[in-house]
Every structure is written in structure tokens, then in C-alpha cells.
Amino acid sequence: MAYLIDTDIIIYSLKGNETVNKNFLLNKNIPKSISVITYGELVYGARKSQHVEKNVATVKRVSELFPVIELNKEIIEIFGEIKAKLEILGTRIEDMDLLIGSTALYLNQVLVTNNEAHFSKIPDLKIENWTKL
């Protein structure tokens, strides 16, 4: 088993959320990575913040601690398949979230997120919420 860490969990950890950080410690020996989409969302947040240099440095450090998973053709194929299925059902989720979820499915990893409402719409996606013990 391995974990793909969603953007919100990284942000909770950086802000010192005790439960999230405790879960990181409890799972310290399990491989973890982030999607290139999460990396982009973190860069965006850092660039629009009041402390750009400090926050950009923090984001770069995050990318050193967690491998950044690039998108590939297979992930995009999963994305397209799931997006079409969801739209037929009348369900939509944001493309960025769907790309993160598709990455977790491709890698057969558990997605760690607090955004259960969106990600639970993706069939067969395994989710853990580290804001809860």
C-alpha cells in the first residue's frame, strides 16, 4: 500500500493540524507521493500569498519530501473514462480533483484527503481522511 496525498492534507499539515500530523507519524513507513496537480495548486497558493518567497520555498521542500507524480497517457485515459461516466450519470467534479483521483487509481494508491464529498464520487477510489483519527 502507498498514499497519494491531496493538496488539502498538505496544507493542514503545514498549518500544524495535530490530527493530520499524527496520521503522518502513524504512517511514516508507508510510501507517500503527491500529484503534479497538487504541486501546481501549492505553487499557486504560495504565489498569491502575502509571503511569496517563504511559501514558495516551503512548496519546493514539499516536492523534495514527496515524489511528484507526473501525468501520463494512462492517467489521462482513466480521467477521460471516469469523466464521461460521471457526466452520463449527471455528476460532475472539478477536473483537477478528477486528475488527482485518476492518478491514485492508476497507481493503485489510497488518496488521503479531507474532500471526501468530491472524491467519493469516483468509482473504486480508496480514500482516507487524515483530519480524523
- For residue 16, pLDDT beyond 90: yes
At 20-63, the pLDDT tens digits run 999 999 999 999 999 999 999 999 999 999 999 999 999 999 99
38 close to 100: Cβ distance less than 8 angstroms: yes
Architecture of domain 3-128: 3-Layer(aba) Sandwich (3.40)
* Average pLDDT over every residue of 104-122: 97
Residue-averaged pLDDT of the chain: 97
Q: What does the pLDDT read at residue 85?
A: 96
Q: How confident is the model at residue 133 (pLDDT cuts 50, 70, 90)?
A: confident
- Domain ranges (residues) in the chain: 3-128
**Closest by Cα among 117, 51, 45, 105 to 74:** 105
Q: What does the pLDDT read at residue 8?
A: 98
* Phi, psi (deg, nearest 5) at residue 90: 80, 20
